[in-house]
A = this chain, B = another copy of it.
């Protein structure tokens, strides 16, 4: 790692002196990306959030014995022998509905009409399903027997008071949210979502739909990054386009309000690559230059607790550097797993993947007849290579590539949900 070296203060037009390994960069990120503090979040907004603390139920669910079927509450022992050719009759003495219990007590020979979820009346111990009963006047005839406790959900069957129903760090599934609601949680303690500021730098950048001057291009990166940040659980604090001005970049990098700043463009060693110097002057440029392709000019550091990622302006490099580094930090800050949010599986190689020893390669691939094939595309500026690709594979620093028939771990771009 090249942290702290004075050679970083101005590498413009002189190239990188040394490049950090991807594993070293990830170590730095994992050390710096401590989950943010907790906040109370309304239950309606809790889906997908990460719990900041254990949630312990203060109640039993259900809080009473309840019917698990629509039918008739009665004494199970009295139904013994009932069948199609031996129908037994009971007197109906009332009904028990969800939220409206039967007030009395069921005696021998009696039954109470009951609905799923309604409280079991005192004196009854089983529910005879409606399918096996026919009602006439105040009597019900039954054609099957039910044992005591049959179709009765006992108190606390789902959740017992004092149980931890969801532990800190759990990412809430829809059913977790349901369970938290069922014990009465109107809010839940969730890890705060990282606020992410996107700064697209470059005099050449124009927003889609705006007028262009000659040789200006439309901003692709900040729109791509917006989707990536949302995917990883970040909240877009702001998104601005900035000219190649050291002052403008400095002001936007240090303005309060963001946990993470993503700077696209101007990350490298060109004459107008101000961002690395601004970061070094205002905080710490911990890493600049990484042994990988694409994205080698990426950098990162921090200003106070704020993490700043310098993403190359070439859109494939931007995507790759985001996915390797910035996305990992955003997921960790929000309490999520560091792992990539891509489905992955082992797939044989169909056409040779070439790489170079000493750097990690991020290779866009297509799945052709069940095998991965590298896309025959040029450099990091070809964003359409990532829309034509089905996904990517990673070739480690130690490898010269993979020959046909070798197995690689394929990461699928398309998300499952």
Contact = CB atoms under 8 A, between A and B. Distances in A.
Interface of A: 13-16, 43-44, 46-48, 61-64, 66, 68, 70, 95, 97-101, 113, 115-119, 129-131, 133, 135, 153, 157-159, 165-166, 171-187, 202-205, 207-209, 213-221, 223-228, 230-232, 239, 244, 265, 268-273, 313-315, 319, 341-343, 378-384, 386-387, 413-417
Given A174-B231, A217-B62, A223 B70 contact: no
A130 B70 contact: no
| Copies of this chain, count | 2
Contacts of A180: 208, 223
B209 A186 contact: yes
Contact of A99 (B185, B204, B319): B204
Nearest to A336: B417
Contacts of A171: 414
A273 B14 CA distance: 77
Given A178-B383, A181-B219, 4 more contacts: A68-B380, A98-B205, A118-B215, A186-B208
Contact of A98 (B117, B204, B319): B204
A247 B272 CA distance: 69
B177 A379 contact: no
Given A113-B271, A226-B44, A272-B115, A215 B64 contact: yes
A98 to B, nearest CB: 3
A265 B98 CA distance: 11
A299 to B, nearest CB: 14
B319 A175 contact: yes
Given A158-B384, A179-B384, A204-B117, A416 B186 contact: no
A378 B95 CA distance: 25
B415 A224 contact: no
A217 B182 contact: yes
Nearest to A100: B203
A280 B331 CA distance: 48
A186 to B, nearest CB: 3
A276 to B, nearest CB: 13
29 contacts: A13-B133, A13-B135, A47-B231, A61-B383, A63-B217, A70-B268, A97-B244, A100-B204, A117-B202, A117-B217, A118-B215, A157-B381, A158-B383, A158-B384, A159-B384, A165-B384, A174-B224, A174-B226, A175-B224, A175-B386, A176-B387, A178-B383, A179-B387, A180-B223, A181-B218, A182-B218, A184-B209, A231-B417, A417-B417
A166 B216 CA distance: 23
